[in-house]
Structure 1
Amino acid sequence: MKLRLLLALLSVCECDSRVKGHTGQDVTLPCKYDRKYHGAVEVCWQREEIPLNKCSNQLISTDGDKVLTRASSRYELLGRLEDGDVSLTIKSLTEGDAGRYGCRVHIPGPFNDEKHQIDLTVVPAPQIHTSTASTTKTTAASQTAGHLTSTESLLTSSHSVTSGSEKQEGGALTGVVFYVLLGSVLLLLIALRSFSSSTPRPASAPRRLLCSFTAKAPPGTPCTTSAAAKAYTRTTSAALRLRPLSCRG
């Protein structure tokens, strides 16, 4: 009898573990048993320490196939009951959910129940400041880039209009300068033509030279080119006839 009692006490399984969750999120407290060996058995969850018999302050219970009782819709058994997974899921954690939880698996026979004690710690959920700041910076950068693009477009348009105006003014100025230069050239040509027509032309040098040989011409003979040529020919022939000849031995 004492041996059987000792074996029963040794067969009781008590497992402790710790789980940490964040406020506003879901958390799962683990609890499993060997369903292939024990078959479908009753399981209950409770707050605080598990008593010697059954569960006190029960949260949820199952017969191994389906949920029997539930204290709140926030408590669910989402594991595969057919595989012996009776883990408790608590939805939308609050700081009041922190504390000790117990899972009791009713194994047939005296002192055979399995007890799983879990200590749940609840901490505030991390705030995503970095993402918000990054989003703000990205939005600000996008707006700034949009303003810069708009400003550049306006500046480009203004520059294009200014360039067009400058080109038009430059073309008009070039036309005015061209017509002024053309008028000046015409006036200069007219002045040169007038000066040429008013200035007397001097007698040509050959005519004066030939006329100098007409000194022996009869009085009243006009100084013409043919008369001068004839006088020059006669004078040259006479000079050649009077030139003495010299012989060198």
Structure 2
Amino acid sequence: MPKHLLKLSYLLFAMGLGLSAAPASAQLVLDGGVKVELAHNDGSGVNTKHIAGSFSGLVYNDIGLQLDLSVGKHEQFTSTQPAATLHLYHAATESLTYGVFLSAEDRRPGNSYFYGAEIAYASNGFGIEAFAAYRDDISSSTDGTRYGIDVSYRPDDSKWTFFGGARADDGMPLEQTYAFLGASYEIRDGVNLGLTAGRNDDGDTIASAMFTLQFGQGSTFRARDTMELFPGNRSLLPLS
């Protein structure tokens, strides 16, 4: 079995063990959401389509799992870019959650694993989330790091949420940074429309529009794949 398929099998097996570890008397409550995003890079002219789903829940006391699945495509290129991330986290308090994650993505060209740690805090409408990860490129001697931060604020009794963030990839062939601001409006319970605008390290402006369907409390953490974190961006350098 190829190395990346073997690792994915281990991930799914571990997730199954986690779910089976939940006490028989406890009912698993599933939170998460589905997002569709369209992005345009004004500098390169590249349009990007991305759809993602996240599903999370506590499986044993304060220990939880989250699974992210996504696929995206740059319209000017024929191949799609699927990704999957598994998070294992501890809900320390109602406001504070921290965990680790393993993300696998199939880029064109090249595939990578990301091994990371993350933390999230949310209270009184304010939220902040940060992560750092090591990147291991499959079938290549290259590696690198990925890190980022997101903040959000929703005023009391408001349907608007304002947010922003920054992230960076270090290590060839992924050398990129991106910072953005955005806002979303809840048109009805769990249904949101949003817009973002940001710039990458090439000086390109990237605008995106998104539709989000949230169920339960929403996902615990943001997904960690490239198209989620760098909408409309594309590294043209191949893995060697």
- TM-score range (shorter-chain normalised) is under 0.3
Larger radius of gyration: 1
Higher helix share: 1
TM-score of the aligned structures, taking structure 1 as reference length: 0.24
